[in-house]
Amino acid sequence: MASPFIEIPVGDRLVKVTNPDKVYFPEHGYTKRQLVEYYLAVGEGIVRATRDRPTTLERWPAGVFEGARMATREDYARGQAGMGAGKSDAFYQKRIPKGAPDWVQTARIKFPSGRSADEVCPTEPAVIAWAANLGTLTFHPWPVRRDDVDHPDELRIDFDPQPGTDFSDAVRVALGPARDLLSELGFTGHVKTSGKAGVHIYVRIEPRWTFTEVRRAALAFGREVERRNPAEVTTRWWKEERGEQVFIDYNQNARDRTIASAYSVRPAPHAPVSAPVTWDELPDVDPHDFTIATMPARFAELGDLHASIDDEAFSLEGLLEMADRDERDHGLGDMPYPPNYPKMPGEPKRVQPSKDTDNQ
């Protein structure tokens, strides 16, 4: 008979893992216990990526199986964002779950709507293991620390291949014009796979600017990369305008928009993970090679490739000056925010071009 639970020592904690033999990834038979053990194997790395950051938990308590789906906005409106008949199989946990141990810390954050919540704020590997037992596959940390939740300390550059392009296209853009621009700005960029088809670059910044200013800097970065390689890069928000290009998603720097952390597991059948890589190995990387089965050995051999990410924080002044020039000299002002945001100052009309009756 399968054990109803086991207890795993994590530091000076005992973390209970219920139904440890429950299969989470049927393609390879990976179980909940293996998910928890994966996170403990890369514990130093996942804690560095999430430490003291309010973190949304992407929970798949039924596992990743054919037909499984993430809760939609309509599910939340109907009260069906959870497990059970007729309900979604996965959901985002933005508030600390009831019954959390008293050693699970929180951080109070404010959403664009003005509402607030106390989110899980990882401080040690036991918190990660506890969250994994709840079915958390992916950790989505905010780009802020809990001692100052209104001033990001991380610029996130997200290269998102559009239909007709793939990971190799994102790599080419990251290695070419994006890396050149990082060098010109004097930035050190830490690169990782998204765990899907994309590439992410993280830059530590001084926590002096608001979310609005950091997003503006990210848009300026994307526009300059697009200017240098217009055939392959776009910052167009509306999908119908992007074509077969790599989209640089500046909105990932807006308040309450998050990216899967380094070492996070992604909800795909082969259990891929978002893997830190070196710039030198990026040209030859196959993101499918990084899974919960392969990453522990890589981590044991190489350690955390983002271990130096906190060594230096950079200024956004150069990018914000670039944003000023874009607006002054090229007429390039703000771009649309995501649909769940209130109308923002200076934002253009938030309607996709094909439905804009004023232009028809």
pLDDT interval class at 84 (50, 70, 90) = very low
Each residue of 187-197: pLDDT tens digit? 999 999 999 99
Same domain, 54 and 202: no
Q: What pLDDT was estimated at residue 355?
A: 83
Above 50 in pLDDT, residue 108?
yes
The overall average pLDDT reported for the chain is 94
Are 229 and 176 in contact by the 8 Å Cβ rule? The answer is yes
Report CA 131 to chain centroid distance, whole Å: 17
User: Does 94 fall in a domain?
Assistant: yes
Contacts with 84 (C-beta within 8 Å, 6 or more apart), sequence order: none
pLDDT at 86: 42
Q: For residue 25, what is the enclosing H or E element?
A: strand 23-25
Residue 339 lies in a domain: no
Residue 90 in this model has a pLDDT that exceeds 70: yes
| Structure confidence at residue 349 (pLDDT) | 87
Same domain for 126 and 94? yes
Residue 126 belongs to a domain:
yes
Last residue of a domain, one of 125, 149, 173: 149
Q: What's residue 359's pLDDT? A: 58
Bridge-based pairing of strands 106-110 and 23-25 is unpaired
- Asked, for residue 301, whether it belongs to a domain, the answer is no
Cα separations (Å) of 307 from 182, 224, 259, 277? 19, 29, 19, 12
CA quadruple 343, 322, 169, 188: dihedral sign: negative
Q: What is the mean pLDDT of residues 327-352?
A: 92
Q: Are residues 121 and 45 in the same domain?
A: yes
Q: Which residues pair with 14 in a beta bridge?
A: 9
Within a domain: residue 292? no
In the block, which residue shows the tokens 């996130």?
A: 156
pLDDT for res 83: 46
- Residue ending a domain, among 115, 132, 149, is 149
Phi–psi pair at 247, nearest 5 degrees = -90, 125
Co-location of 55 and 196 in the same domain: no
Question: Is the per-residue pLDDT at 150 higher than 70?
Answer: yes
Domain that holds residue 76: 5-149
CB contact at 8 A, 25 and 269: yes
CA distance 29 to 163: 30
Check whether residue 51 and residue 141 sit in a common domain.
yes
Looking at the structure, tell me whether residues 118 and 169 fall in a common domain.
no
The H or E element spanning position 104 is: none
Asked if residue 171 and residue 49 are part of one domain, the reply reads no
Query: What CATH number did the domain enclosing 324 receive?
Result: 3.90.920.10
Give domain status of residue 231, yes or no: yes
Q: What's the number of domains the chain is made of?
A: 2
Which tens digits make up the pLDDT trace of 55-82?
Answer: 999 999 999 987 888 876 655 545 555 5
* Predicted local distance difference test score (pLDDT) of residue 80: 52
Give the C-alpha distances (Å, rounded to integers) separating 222 from 41, 164, 227, 334: 35, 20, 9, 13
Q: Which position has the higher pLDDT, 121 or 89?
A: 121
Residue 85 pLDDT: 37
Percent of the chain having pLDDT more than 70?
94
Do 53 and 138 belong to one domain? yes
* Torsion sign over Cα 63, 69, 70, 73: negative
Same domain, 132 and 163: no
Per-residue pLDDT reduced to its tens digit, 241-256: 999 999 999 999 999 9
So what's the pLDDT on residue 71? 74
Same domain (yes/no): 167, 117: no
Q: Which of 130, 149, 168 is the last residue of a domain?
A: 149
**177 DSSP 8-state letter:** I
Helical (H) or strand (E) element with 156: strand 154-161
Two tokens, residue 197: 């088809």
What's the pTM?
0.95
* Position 272 in a domain: no
Same domain, 130 and 170: no
Q: What is the pLDDT of residues 153-200, one digit of tens each?
A: 999 999 999 999 999 999 999 999 999 999 999 999 999 999 999 999
Mean pLDDT of 280-285: 98
218 and 324 inside one domain = yes
Domain presence at residue 279 = no
State how far the alpha carbon of 118 is from the alpha carbons of 102, 108, 151, 173, 276, in Å.
Answer: 14, 4, 17, 37, 29
